[in-house]
């Protein structure tokens, strides 16, 4: 039996392999799930995704299932509660950014903007094929700039690139990886240096 070829990072452990094989790079069209993943990518800043993945269920419990309506109502007492939660990354700025991110999500919704349509508008709804080596691209820089303009935090070009990979806006599976899509449009370029 021939072993499946995977992206090299997926071989770290069984949990990372499962994440790679079932989630990473699979196009996400659900607005709430796109927002949750963006918030988790923000928590990942300075850490490894493996750390966040191990804590993901604790994050979901702590942040009310990443229900933007519930999270938007979190106040100072919730921030303190979260700062005491050893199951998550206890970084005040990231916790506060997630609460504000929920409020922005709801503000967009109130204006008639669907977060999923917004996210996918940058690629006209298509998955782009990445190089598998870039840490940021012109696309991630453009999305990052717009997210920042809207008030989101922890959404720099590198974080946004990781997010676009995770939610399938960009197919960055390595050439030869069994998950690499043949349908992705091959036009994504790394950001200009």
Catalytic positions are: 19, 41, 49
Q: Report the candidate in 30, 24, 69 with the shortest Cα–Cα distance to residue 168.
A: 24
Question: Would you state the structure tokens that stand for residue 182, as one six-digit string?
Answer: 């043949």
Which residues are 137's β-sheet partners?
190
Q: Say how far apart CA 102 and CA 28 lie, in whole Å.
A: 18
Give, for 143, the enclosing helix (H) or strand (E). helix 138-150
Contact 168, 127 (CB under 8 A): yes
Question: Would you state the structure tokens that stand for residue 55, as one six-digit string?
Answer: 């804590």
Q: Say how far apart CA 137 and CA 82 lie, in whole Å.
A: 33
């Amino acid at each position: 039996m021939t072993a499946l070829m995977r992206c090299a990072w997926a071989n770290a452990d069984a949990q990372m392999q499962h994440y790679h094989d079932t989630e990473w790079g699979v196009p996400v069209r659900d607005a709430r799930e796109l927002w949750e993943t963006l918030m988790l990518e923000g928590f990942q800043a300075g850490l490894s995704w493996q750390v966040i993945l191990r804590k993901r269920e604790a994050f979901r419990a702590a942040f009310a299932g990443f229900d933007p309506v519930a999270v938007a109502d979190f106040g100072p007492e919730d921030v303190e509660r979260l700062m005491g939660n050893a199951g998550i990354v206890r970084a005040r700025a990231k916790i506060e950014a997630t609460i504000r991110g929920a409020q922005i999500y709801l503000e967009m919704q109130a204006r008639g903007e669907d977060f999923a349509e917004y996210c996918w508008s940058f690629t006209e709804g298509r998955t782009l094929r990445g190089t598998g080596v870039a840490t940021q691209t012109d696309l991630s820089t453009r999305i990052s700039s717009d997210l920042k303009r809207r008030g989101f935090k922890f959404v720099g070009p590198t974080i946004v690139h990781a997010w676009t990979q995770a939610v399938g806006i960009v197919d960055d599976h390595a050439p030869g990886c069994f998950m690499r899509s043949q349908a992705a449009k091959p036009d994504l370029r790394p950001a200009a240096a």
